[in-house]
Structure 1
Amino acid sequence: MRACDRLFGVTATAGLAVAFLAAIVLQALAIAQTWGARYWLAGGTAAVVVCVLALVRRRQRAWAAVAGLGIAGLAIAAARVFHLPTEPGPAMALALAVLVGSAVRALPPVPAGALAAGGLAVVGGAYLAARPQSSGASGVWMMNVAAWLGAVAGGLALRLLDERATATVERVRRDERLELARELHDVVAHHVTGMLIQAQAAHLVARKNPGQVTESLTEIEAAGTEALRAMRRVVGLLRDTEDAPPASAGPEELGVLVERFSRQGPPVRLRLPDESTAWPPEVTSTVYRIIRESLTNVARHAPHARSVTVTVDQNPSGVTVEVVDDAPPGPVRASHRGGYGLIGMRERVETLGGTLHTGPRPDTGWSVLATLPTQVGRPR
């Protein structure tokens, strides 16, 4: 627990203790003035015990509430037998309200409902025990009813807030898991695909010219080193450090990406805007990831492509990214409609308020076209 949370808890407990003390003093003075000084001892002792239970309730909410209600019930029964004031005083009412409200907030529905009913039974028992001595509902009894209603209503309200906070935390965690899953897919799919292509090429080279295998192995080693570096960037997302490295590269590294892909597959022609760009970080990383995933898909699903063209264009409304290849249509490419990479790509684009279109070109090849607004706001 953080220091501020501990400080808040200590402050709240201290404030509650002061309120209990004031209520006990008020109860003792009221009983001493109406019934006599010695009559406040029994009810005052029970009130002190229940107040202590309310102060230490956090670790055992259920048992503290059960014990508090039991002590209150015994105190009412004893007061009835010995002709003492039967209604729980302000200290007892406040302590029982804290115990019942805490139980309603934190416990499962069934035990929480049972304890709330127990609190109502204590209030009703106090009223029935006081009926022979009073002609109607007293102010003290009405105070106990108000305390019980406030405890149940407050407990339910805090329970609802806790459930909403828990749901928000779970949603954030789920989004983080999806983000990590997309990042892992992007890294693993891109680099491992390149290593696989290099290994296949090494087999072919070994049959014709064994002396050139070393060059292919060097490329595989370089791809493995880059994959390890990228994986370390992803692992950095899991660290709670402010100086963790960024999870992905920006468009300034597009040239390196294209050059590396061209060594493993068909040549890539890269077209970038003439003027310098100043896009938001989420846009720059998304542009890089779209191109990386598209080139990876070309290597995996269009091995017969002869060339690839990557175009990044900027206009007043945003950024346009298009990746096209000239691979002839085939059964593998025609059936390729998605996968985790495409799903993650589409989610990234739509989160930024953009659009993504993928599919075969009219003549030949495949096209990936994404538009991203540079003024990132709420997703559309």
Structure 2
Amino acid sequence: MRSPLRLATAVDAGLGVVFAVAVPFQAYQVADVWGAGYWWFGAAVAGSVCALALVRRGSPLWPAVAGLAVAMLAVLVTRLVHLPAEPSPAASLGLAVLVARAVRTLPARGACVVGGAGTAVVVAALLVSPRSPVPVLGGLAWLAGVAAGLGTRLQAARRRAAAERVRRAERLELARELHDVVAHHITSIVLQAQAARLVTAKHPDRTAGCLAGIETAGSEALNATRRVVGLLRDAAPVAAGHERLAELVEGFESHGRRARLRLDAEPSGWPPEVSSTVYRVVRESLTNVSRHARHARTVAVGVAQHDAAVTVEVEDDAPQAPGRRHRRAGYGLIGMRERVEALGGTLTAGPRPGSGWAVRATIPTGERERP
């Protein structure tokens, strides 16, 4: 918070120096051209407007309205009394600052009020002193103030829109992350609950062991959810080392199915986002097998690195069910495809010839293997 405060202080100090130089210099020029009795009015008007331009407390509407009112009053006075044209260059400079600040920060209605009042001052000055260049300079200063205010206002609007897009993307990312982690554990709980029901019917004495397994799986799901939430807060990717991938395969085999892992690469050399994506692709694929291919007997997980890319393949041998060839292309797989494509890779998923389902992801690492 100190940096914006220091910047605002520096800007105010710079404006103060400019105003402190502009008002006396203008007074000197008026006294030299018009005479010694004509400088004080313009100096008072310019000093008042510039002082209002340095006010930062509260809404910028009232300083802007007050400055424009002072300028309009000065224009009317010059109509009645033979005085130099207003608003003077120094006063126009202060008005430009007031208008720019109001247009930049006020709601649309207030910004339009200030812009319209500035237009009225410029038109009145041109009508009162049509042959003087001073009102023209005032009009140019007003246009510069409006342009500066609108420019910064549009930039702020674009930043807010971009921030909102990022927030929406983060919310979607959170949903995908929670789906990836929790769905795997919840599937394990459901499978163990189904097994417990069958075991209880035939071997009631083994019920306690089944319930303990369900309790363990539930605790793991809770801990995994907490880890994911903490992971998202820290924006740290999940590592996909050999141990983590082996844990996924072992967890899948604990459900009574065979799985094998082939790792022809060194994950420690991958960028964090590549490592995280490999881990999530394998986990999502195994989760889909658990949920949608219960008749699969074996699953093969292969991770290999060739040149500047990592290839992940997950294949099962489940028989194809009629009319359900695209059943497994669910929300989680869509999230994986978006993640892989965001890294410049590709992901395909579909039925294998004959039987089974295959997921293949190619993820660039950004580096080429050394010979």
Q: Once the 2 structures are TM-superposed, how far is the Cα of residue 96 of structure 1 from its aligned partner?
A: 0.7
The answer on whether the counterparts of 2:85 and 2:132 sit within 8 Å (CA) in structure 1 is no
Moved more, 34-43 or 193-202: 34-43
- 1:212 alignment partner in structure 2: 206
- 5+ residue gaps, structure 1, are none
Moved more, 56-65 or 302-311: 56-65
Whole-Å Cα distance in 1 between the matches of residues 185 and 219 of structure 2? 9
Deviations 1:48-88 (A, max 9, x none): 33223222256412333222212210121123223322321
Aligned-partner SS, 1:264: coil
- 1:159 alignment partner in structure 2: 153
- 2:21 alignment partner in structure 1: 22
Aligned-partner SS, 1:334: coil
Task: Give the aligned length.
Answer: 367
- 1:106 alignment partner in structure 2: 105
The answer on whether the counterparts of 2:31 and 2:39 sit within 8 Å (CA) in structure 1 is yes
Aligned-partner SS, 1:272: strand
Q: What are the residue-to-residue correspondences of 1:266-285 with 2, within 5 Å?
A: 266-273=257-264, 278-285=269-276
Deviations 1:280-315 (A, max 9, x none): 111111111011011111111111211211111221
Deviations 1:93-140 (A, max 9, x none): 011111222233334555434432322321221222224xxxx232x3
270 and 333 in structure 1: CA distance in 2 versus 1, 3 angstrom threshold: farther
- 2:96 alignment partner in structure 1: 97
Aligned-partner SS, 1:322: strand
TM-score w.r.t. the length of structure 2 is 0.90
Q: Once the 2 structures are TM-superposed, how far is the Cα of residue 198 of structure 1 from its aligned partner?
A: 1.5
Amino acid at match of 2:360: L
Whole-Å Cα distance in 2 between the matches of residues 277 and 213 of structure 1? 43
Whole-Å Cα distance in 2 between the matches of residues 18 and 265 of structure 1? 80
Q: What are the residue-to-residue correspondences of 1:132-171 with 2, within 5 Å?
A: 136-138=131-133, 140-171=134-165
Whole-Å Cα distance in 2 between the matches of residues 247 and 227 of structure 1? 19
Amino acid at match of 1:235: V
The answer on whether the counterparts of 1:250 and 1:287 sit within 8 Å (CA) in structure 2 is yes
Aligned-partner SS, 2:296: coil
- 2:347 alignment partner in structure 1: 356
233 and 53 in structure 1: CA distance in 2 versus 1, 3 angstrom threshold: farther
What is the CA RMSD across the aligned residues, in angstroms?
2.5
Structure 2 residue 364 is the aligned partner of structure 1 residue 365:
no
326 and 27 in structure 1: CA distance in 2 versus 1, 3 angstrom threshold: same
228 and 38 in structure 1: CA distance in 2 versus 1, 3 angstrom threshold: farther
Alignment partner of 2:319 out of 317, 328, 335: 328
Q: Once the 2 structures are TM-superposed, how far is the Cα of residue 370 of structure 1 from its aligned partner?
A: 1.0
Q: Once the 2 structures are TM-superposed, how far is the Cα of residue 346 of structure 1 from its aligned partner?
A: 0.3
Structure 2 residue 240 is the aligned partner of structure 1 residue 250:
yes
- 2:124 alignment partner in structure 1: 125
209 and 185 in structure 1: CA distance in 2 versus 1, 3 angstrom threshold: same
The answer on whether the counterparts of 1:265 and 1:299 sit within 8 Å (CA) in structure 2 is no
Moved more, 162-171 or 32-41: 32-41
38 and 256 in structure 1: CA distance in 2 versus 1, 3 angstrom threshold: same
Amino acid at match of 2:310: V
Q: Once the 2 structures are TM-superposed, how far is the Cα of residue 29 of structure 1 from its aligned partner?
A: 2.2
Whole-Å Cα distance in 2 between the matches of residues 228 and 238 of structure 1? 16
- 1:296 alignment partner in structure 2: 287
- 2:184 alignment partner in structure 1: 190
Whole-Å Cα distance in 1 between the matches of residues 235 and 52 of structure 2? 50
Deviations 1:17-46 (A, max 9, x none): 121221221232233334444544443333
Whole-Å Cα distance in 2 between the matches of residues 77 and 106 of structure 1? 30
Moved more, 192-201 or 222-231: 222-231
Whole-Å Cα distance in 1 between the matches of residues 108 and 365 of structure 2? 49
- 1:66 alignment partner in structure 2: 65
The answer on whether the counterparts of 2:344 and 2:363 sit within 8 Å (CA) in structure 1 is yes
Aligned-partner SS, 2:254: helix
The answer on whether the counterparts of 1:301 and 1:332 sit within 8 Å (CA) in structure 2 is no
Moved more, 349-358 or 260-269: 260-269
The answer on whether the counterparts of 1:302 and 1:333 sit within 8 Å (CA) in structure 2 is no
Q: Once the 2 structures are TM-superposed, how far is the Cα of residue 335 of structure 1 from its aligned partner?
A: 4.5
Deviations 1:311-364 (A, max 9, x none): 112211411111111112225843515332011100011011111111111111
- 2:227 alignment partner in structure 1: 233
The answer on whether the counterparts of 2:315 and 2:359 sit within 8 Å (CA) in structure 1 is yes
The answer on whether the counterparts of 1:87 and 1:127 sit within 8 Å (CA) in structure 2 is no
Q: Identical aligned pairs, as a percentage?
A: 54
Whole-Å Cα distance in 2 between the matches of residues 164 and 170 of structure 1? 10
- 1:263 alignment partner in structure 2: 254
